[in-house]
Amino acid sequence: MESTARVKLYVAISFLYNAEDWFRFATVNESEANMEIIIKPDYPAVCDEAAGMILKAWKKKPNLVLGLATGKTPLGLYEKLIALHRSGQMDFSEVVTFSLDEYYGLDESHPQSFAAYMDHHLYKHINIRPENVHRLHGRPQDIEEHCRAYERKIRSVGGIDIQVLGIGKNGHIGFNEPGSSLTSRTRLKALTRETVEANASLFTDEEEIPRFSLTMGIGTILESKMILLLASGEDKADIVARAVEGPLTAFVPASILQLHPQAKFILDEEAAARLTLKDYYRWAFENKGRLSASKEKG
Ligand code: F6R
């Protein structure tokens, strides 16, 4: 199917499912309604940019609701958030978080669980309240009800203000692997053979190697008010170019972010290397800086 026809079909279907959210999208201030590509010289600068945006949002809303990813990419961002907390610039006592995903079958105490990752790399270093930390559990009694309850919880706090994402080399966001429905909600998902094989070395017992995950759906992610997708390194350059400049397709789940009015791809030079319009993105971002500086001057 032509990509434009695909977009129209997606918009029509998701409108039927979720009219209220699309109404919110449609009413976002026109001047803000753009996916944005931000290119930074290196990985620390990517993390600085993302941390700066989170800090700015928190200053306006101390009970900020964050959706948080695991993996290699956000590690530097979490270090920056911890540093902001330690230097007294950011207080997490009212901040609320939601995990993006979790391996199915692992207890929270398992060292490879995403729960353990978040505790180790962020939560134990900041003053977040345990009751404000929401996670997908690896061994829920009733999977479907657990996923539905997670969605209800997100809605009950007014939705996710900022969702942090990485991107898989195949274009996945969360564990929404290629072919995932673009309107999907939080659910159980089979991991790809590559993901299972890549994880194998982390587990001593073969039986423990996760073959499924629980993940926010693409539809769930799209309802976040702002999305920060971070990518670093040359091994992400191809998929970043396909997600940002390629056709919108379920075969590259991250390409759906082209439709989100507040999606920001924050990239280092290596991850941005294959973008055809990278000079334009740089130019547009610099000029945006000039515009806000002149607005501030009055
Ligand atoms: C992690 C997640 C994944 C990762 C992606 C990139 O919670 O959902 O989508 O963001 O696989 O992983 P890294 O950052 O390790 O390259």
HSE-up of residue 188 (Cα within 13 Å, Cβ side): 15
Task: Give the pLDDT of residue 178.
Answer: 95
Q: Quick one: which of 200, 171, 185, 243 has its CA closest to 103?
A: 200
Task: Give the pLDDT of residue 10.
Answer: 55
In the residue annotation, 172 being an active-site residue is answered as yes
Task: Give the pLDDT of residue 13.
Answer: 57
212-215 vs 187-190, strand pairing mode: antiparallel
CA of 10 to the centre of ligand 1 (A): 25
Six-digit token string for 210: 């996760």
Task: Give the pLDDT of residue 175.
Answer: 96
Q: Which of 101, 161, 223, 269 is catalytic?
A: 101
Amino acid identity for residue 180 in this structure: S
- Domains of the chain (ranges, CATH numbers): 35-297 (3.40.50.1360)
238-286 tens-digit pLDDT: 999 999 999 999 999 999 999 999 999 999 999 999 999 999 999 999 8
> Which residues, judged by CB distance below 6 Å to any ligand atom, belong to the binding site of ligand 1?
69-73, 100-101, 166-168, 172-175
181: left (phi over 0), alpha (psi -120 to 50) or beta: beta
Low-confidence residues of the chain: pLDDT under 70 = 1-33
Task: Give the pLDDT of residue 167.
Answer: 97
Task: Give the pLDDT of residue 27.
Answer: 45
Nearest atom of ligand 1 to the alpha carbon of 173: 9
- Cα gap 262→34, rounded to integer Å: 6
Task: Give the pLDDT of residue 23.
Answer: 46
Nearest atom of ligand 1 to the alpha carbon of 74: 14
Task: Give the pLDDT of residue 28.
Answer: 44
The answer to whether 145 and 110 are in contact (CB under 8 A) is no
Task: Give the pLDDT of residue 180.
Answer: 95
Amino acid identity for residue 100 in this structure: L
Task: Give the pLDDT of residue 88.
Answer: 98
Task: Give the pLDDT of residue 29.
Answer: 46
Task: Give the pLDDT of residue 8.
Answer: 53
